[in-house]
Amino acid sequence: MKERLLEYLKSDRHLWWSVTVIPGIYCILYLYTNNFTLVNSWYQLMWCVLVFIALPVAEILVLDFIFKKWLPRWRPHLYWCYLLINFALILSFIVFGYWRYKGLALVIVASIISSFFIAKHYKKLVLLFALMCVVAAYQFVHFYVERVVYREDWVDTTVFENIEFKKHPNIYLIQPDGFVNKQAAQSSFYDLDLSAFYSRMEALGFAFNHEYRSNYPSTLTSNSALFTGQQHLFENGNMESELYGARDLIVGNNPVISTLKRNGYRTNLILQHSYLMLNFPEVAYDYVNVSESDLSVPLPDYWLDADYMQDFKDRMNAVDDRPQFFFLEILEPGHIPNNGIAADSEKYTADYKSQLLSVTEKLIHLVNFIEEKDPDGIIIIAADHGGYVGFENSLEPYHTVIEDPDLKRSIYGSLFAIKAKNDFYRYGPHIKTSITVFPVLFQYLAQQPPIDPELDNSSYMFIKNGSERGVYQYFDPNGLPITERLDP
């Protein structure tokens, strides 16, 4: 091995794959180790190989042909510059999701200037990249085996999956992202008066549960509990960034969707943005307004801004007489930024309030449209979590254990309102958190006696750092704020 490496360093051969394939493989390994849940489809891997390896290979072959023919003595300079610039371009795109032009311009200038002095040593840099690839490959294999191969699936068969409905009204689940409940809205962090909104909705026949909570702090973790009726406890932190398989579960054949389909429902998914589709999951819904051609490759980008209102109206006008289930996800009002700073907290709060008040009008418009078309339908408005107002940014709660009850409500306190026939309202009090929404709804549709499902209504947080790392219970099943670390 040593002799072959020395021979490579001393030779006049310039290997096209050394400045394209090696850095490309390293960047792909880095991407998949750190963001696996966002890119774990074969289609995305194919695009990563095409863009990060195949395209640079084609470029260097063309450039090398030109240099070999007309500028042969400058080939080491070409390989030195291409190795550094290509690596910087790909890594910048992977890490930041876009190109940081000032930094890239600096890399380009530095590469060109330095090539006049050390280009002949570019092969040593290639060997360094090769070593980095070996280390990255080890890290990815270790991550994949430990976090993916040996993970245990937390989704079990639920009691309600065998239930037979006796009622088959159309069901409309509207989810405004980050819309806080009344408890949180009235806290000093928000200081929001939504009495006019509540009054208008109540006049339309809606009943609110102002103590409703999400079981988890994010869209993916919360909806995973919502559509399974089960606690996952973050899989004890199996994935640092996101819950593994959450998107595949939420838009796939989860216990809720399979139960609805088995009872004759057609299922419809209406999205404002492509957040739930980033990794090209297999969609079990009969209809979705976002197609794979709308999704971003090779790297995911959640921003789509589809005209969800019109898409919903068009779909509602097009459905047949079979019972329908609609899940309408609106990524508004959202929450404070992921990377915010304390100095801008007042601006974040003002922006959130403005977005929330705007969403109230959209919700009223939506329910008026549904009521006009389908007065017998069940309309559920259930937010996935709170707005995080009171924190510097929305990532802060994942790093520090929280004791303040109002800060906890800022994370978990979520809007919940429902409009149904009068005979439903004795079931309503049994819906306390995300995990009980569908079990209680299915009790009603099956005309079973209204009882509290034997489910854990606690709310949980995963602290990622230091000695405090672990899963914490922030609300007990009765809605009382506590701070209790679970045993691993």
Please give the pLDDT value at position 248. Answer: 97
- Reading the block at residue 184, the tokens are 């949180």
Please give the pLDDT value at position 342. Answer: 66
| 406 half-sphere exposure, CB direction, 13 A CA radius | 10
Distances (CA, A) of 159 to 215, 231, 321, 440: 20, 14, 28, 12
Q: Which residues contact 74 (CB under 8 A, 6 or more apart)?
A: 67
Amino acid of residue 421: K
Sheet holding 481-485, edge to edge: 459-463, 470-475, 481-485
H or E segment to which residue 475 belongs: strand 470-475
Burial category of 55 from C-beta neighbours within 10 Å (exposed 0-12, middle 13-18, buried 19 and up)? middle
Please give the pLDDT value at position 8. Answer: 74
Q: In which residue are the tokens 């329908």 written?
A: 324
Q: How far apart are CA 289 and CA 271, in angstroms?
A: 7
> Do the Cβ atoms of 341 and 392 come closer than 8 Å?
yes
Q: How far apart are CA 453 and CA 435, in angstroms?
A: 10
Q: Which residues contact 28 (CB under 8 A, 6 or more apart)?
A: 45, 48, 49, 52, 53
Chain-centroid distance of CA 344 in Å reads 25
3-state secondary structure of 73: helix
Rg (the chain; Cα; Å): 27
Please give the pLDDT value at position 343. Answer: 64
Q: How far apart are CA 86 and CA 78, in angstroms?
A: 11
- Reading the block at residue 75, the tokens are 């080939």
Q: How far apart are CA 40 and CA 63, in angstroms?
A: 33
Cis peptide, bond prior to residue 333, ω within 30 of zero: yes
> Do the Cβ atoms of 350 and 407 come closer than 8 Å?
no
Please give the pLDDT value at position 196. Answer: 97
Each residue's pLDDT, cut to its tens digit, for the chain (488 residues) gives 777 877 777 788 889 999 999 999 999 999 999 999 999 999 999 999 999 999 999 999 999 999 999 999 999 999 999 999 999 999 999 998 877 888 889 999 999 999 899 888 899 999 999 999 999 999 999 999 999 999 999 999 898 999 999 999 999 999 999 999 999 999 999 999 999 999 999 999 999 999 999 999 999 999 999 999 999 999 988 877 799 999 999 999 999 999 999 999 999 999 999 999 999 999 999 999 999 999 999 999 999 999 999 999 999 999 999 999 999 999 999 999 988 776 688 899 999 999 999 999 999 999 999 999 999 999 999 999 999 999 999 999 999 999 999 999 999 999 999 999 999 999 999 999 999 999 999 999 999 999 888 999 999 999 998 889 999 999 999 999 999 999 87
**pTM assigned to the model:** 0.94
φ, ψ of residue 431 to 5 degrees: the values are -90, 110
Q: How far apart are CA 418 and CA 63, in angstroms?
A: 64
Domain with CATH 3.40.720.10 in the chain: 163-451
Q: Which residues contact 49 (CB under 8 A, 6 or more apart)?
A: 24, 28
How crowded is residue 338: how many other Cβ atoms within 10 Å of its Cβ?
10
CATH code reported for the domain at 163-451: 3.40.720.10
Which one, of 37, 44, 47, 455, lies nearest residue 249 by Cα? 37
